Structure 1
Amino acid sequence: MNSLHVAAPPSPARLLAPAAAAAHTPAGLVGDTPVLWVGEPFTDPGRGFWAKLEGCNPGGIKDRAALYMVARARERGELAPGAPIIESTSGTLGLGLALAGVTFGHPVAVVTDPGMEPLMRGLLNAYGAEVHLVDRPHPVGGWQQARREKVDELLIARPDAWCPDQYNNPDNVAAYAPLAHELIAQLGRIDTLVVSVGTGGHSAGIGRVLRGFFPALRIVGVDTCGSTIFGQPAAPRLMRGLGSSIYPRNVDYALFDEVHWVAAAEAVHCARALAKARYASGGWSVGAVALVARHLSRVSPAESRIAAVFPDGPERYVGTLFDDDWCRTHQLLGGPSADVPDELAHPGERVVERWSRCTTVADPLATVGVAVTADEDAVVGVAR
């Protein structure tokens, strides 16, 4: 009978190998996520980009923001020991807050809407979060505003509770400095950063730090059709995790060199193609970011180093983006794949319904027709 014989090394030291750090709390599992080269066959031969795989965090990219916002609020005395945390979420921040609740000892309640995947609701319940569901969108602010109004109701009922207000909390921006430092350590030089934009937290937090190291850095924001962030009118949106029906004040308009809007079917097609080609994918944001990053790798000099941030992984989307029946129901399959974006001279030129690009980036709440510059810090706020 044949057996496999493995020779013992002459010294136990030969057994030592790099290993992941041991963690004493769940928060210790967050950060130091890998980067993956995304090349052919997903991209053209000889071209590609680096993807920061934030889905390798326990819950996704917003683990970083949730832990940081909670820690800073505790330090300032805004969040008392054991007090409830209440916030609106489409999913990923909810997982991060559940993680922060376990880490710091706070009950967590999240407000979401019917678009949240059943898997995500199940995970939030499993991790001890209380899930509240709104049943109809706000007539102007959509599901986001409806969720925020429900948060306000819960805060009135629980005067000791604290809300992170992810859309306007500057700690949501500061939380992502470590991610930027990780990218610098991993890639050395970065010429282009591609980031999805929702609350504005990770795009501003990563972009500001990287721009300090690389003044010529090109920063490309990725939004969704139907989102108001960059000056388009609000419309019903199937995509979650990027885009907004309100105007988050964490969005740093002065950072962006250009913005792309991506339609739902285009994001689905790209997320699926990416999974098959590179065994890495994610949800709406990942599909949209990958579409734009692939395009930039095609039109940029071959030596250009592009970093794209993938906010989550594919698991929560098995019953949606990666389910043929669900996609057929929402008419997301069978259309032609997009190769190049439409071009807009300014964000208000026309309503976009497919992948589109604009190099004029303006704050919709600033003076009409005036592009935002680094000196224009005073803007109209959004009431909670």
Structure 2
Amino acid sequence: MNRTTLTPILTSPAQLLANSKRPMHTPAGLVGDTPVLWIGAPFTATGRGFWTKLEGHNPGGIKDRTALHMVRAARERGQLLPGARIVESTSGTLGLGLALAGATYGHPVTVVTDPGMEPLMTGLLTAYGAEVDLVDTPHPTGGWQEARRRRVEDLLTVHPDAWCPDQYNNPDNVAAYTPLAHELVAQLGRIDTLVVSVGTGGHSAGIASVLRTFFPHLRLVGVDTTGSTIFGQPAAHRLMRGLGSSIYPRNVAYDLFDEVHWVAAPEAVWAARRLARDHYASGGWSVGAVALVARWLAGTLPAENRIVAVFPDGPQRYVGTVFNDLYCREHGLLGHLPADDPDEISHPGERVVTRWTRCTRITDPLATAGTPASDTHALTGAAR
């Protein structure tokens, strides 16, 4: 028998907009208020799971937040003059955010990158009006990061009025994530464990420091990549982009972390692909690595522990890498089922890790080596 579905009669046009986002006058208004999604079985064990903050729903990803905030703050302080050029090193996501900020506030943008940037990302940056400056030779000792950093310094000399955000050391990068933390509190009410990737240190420090004011016993779990120096491992070749570093960003708040996990590229690929297939929500290297760790925590922590994982972006830019069989076969990334549990080390310098590994002793590598933070270079590394 046919049934008629009754449509509620709306007494006011305002009711149509009750759950809609307000109209926007600038692209900056498109950033924020991203959704939260539950990830459970089949990615996790039945009855266990975690929440994810889907930052890929921003126009360019999580870095839209920090790009807009850093640019706005620099303009207010007079560091970035009206119409002046913005120059920064990036592997993609921050570049999109800076292009958005440039369109919002009227600044030309130059992003310095290397051949590892995906053609899709180069095309998007160009379409959004950014100039893409490609370094073609790695530095003999500092690799692509140092080559990009030196190129940024050259461009700042050519354009004396230009401004570089220097997101690795810019405290505005951290402050930019206060709204994201407030969104999580409003969306979930209580958070017990936060799982975040670590590259510049901005969103881990920014979100966790605010959440700790609401939840003093919040557990912060950092996710790094093998071959990254951030948490005290030696530098090595890193295939994954978006997390990890070959330098020591001063925005990393080491005192906030309770544990760190290093994840290898094949393990991140497995998790990212499983997420896409099982839950229609995924992303690239950072998302895969974070999801793998959050999945393990969901199975080991008490069931009532509310876990939140931050997904920095979506899967679109990774169709030629993480989600491309040919690329993954060429780099030996397929057919590696992650272990049920991570390896454990008692200290970050205990040994070099090459697969998923956990450590609950967190130290600042520079402090351990006796190098004052103020001695680090003011313009460091490559932005994500």
Runs of 4+ with deviation above 3 angstroms? 3-15, 376-380
Q: Is the 8 A contact 1:219 1:256 kept in 2?
A: yes
CA contact (8 A) 2:196 2:309 kept: yes
Does the residue aligned with 2:367 lie in a helix, a strand or coil?
Answer: coil
Cα drift, residue 22 of structure 1 = 1.3
Which aligned pairs between 1:11-22 and structure 2 lie closer than 5 A? 11-13=10-12, 16=16, 17-22=18-23
Cα deviation, residue 145, structure 1? 1.7
Question: How many residues are aligned here?
Answer: 376
Letter of the structure 2 residue corresponding to residue 382 of structure 1: H
Q: Give the deviation of 1:322 after TM superposition.
A: 0.4
Say which structure, 1 or 2, has more relative contact order (CA 8 Å, 6+ apart): 2
Deviation for aligned residue 1:310? 0.2
CA 20–377 in structure 1, closer or farther in 2 if over 3 Å, else same: farther
The answer (yes or no) to whether the contact 1:366–1:380 under 8 Å persists in 2 is: no
1:19-98 correspondence runs (5 A)? 19-98=20-99
Q: Look up the match of 1:373.
A: none
Q: Counterpart in 2 of 1:382?
A: 377
Q: CA–CA distance in 1 between the matches of 2:191 and 2:289?
A: 20
| Cα distance change on mapping 1:151 and 1:41 into 2, 3 Å | same
Distance 1:11 1:134 in 2: 58
Shift, 1:134, TM fit: 1.1
User: Identity, % of aligned pairs?
Assistant: 73
Provide the rounded CA distance (Å) in 1 between the counterparts of 2:307 and 2:347. 25
One-letter amino acid matched to 2:362:
V
Structure 2 counterparts to residues 191-340 of structure 1, below 5 A: 191-340=192-341
- In the superposition, relative to structure 1, how do residues 10 and 89 fare at CA in structure 2: closer, same or farther (>3 Å)? closer
Instruction: Give SS of 1:186's match.
Output: helix
Alignment of 1:126-205 (within 5 A): 126-205=127-206
Provide the rounded CA distance (Å) in 2 between the counterparts of 1:191 and 1:224.
24
TM-score (norm 2): 0.94
1:106 maps to a residue whose letter is: H
Instruction: Write the distance in 2 (CA, Å) between the matches of 1:48 and 1:108.
Output: 41
TM-score, length of structure 1 as denominator length? 0.94
- Letter in structure 2 aligned against 1:115: G
CA distance in 1, matches of 2:215, 2:372: 22
Contact 1:145 1:246 in 2 (8 A): no
Name the amino acid aligned to 2:230: I
Q: Which amino acid aligns with 1:381?
A: T
The AA in structure 2 aligned to 1:125 is T
SS at match of 1:366: helix
Shift of 1:144: 1.6
Task: Give the Å deviation of 1:57.
Answer: 0.2
Distance 2:292 2:142 in 1: 28
The whole-number CA distance in structure 2 between the counterparts of 1:24 and 1:4 is 43
* Residue 6 (structure 1) shift: 7.6
Which sections of structure 1, spanning at least 5 residues, go unmatched?
371-375
Q: Is the 8 A contact 2:250 2:373 kept in 1?
A: no
Could you say what the CA RMSD is over the residues aligned between the two structures, in angstroms? 1.8
Superimposed CA distance per residue, residues 272-300 of structure 1 (whole angstroms, 9 cap, x where no aligned partner): 00111110000100000000000000000
Long gaps (5+) in structure 2: 380-384
Structure 1's 11 and 203: CA in aligned 2 closer, same or farther, altered over 3 A?
closer
- In the other structure, the counterpart of 1:360 is 361
Q: Deviations over 1:166-225 (max 9, x none)?
A: 110000000001000100111111000000000000000001101111111100000000
Report the secondary structure of 2:366's partner residue: coil
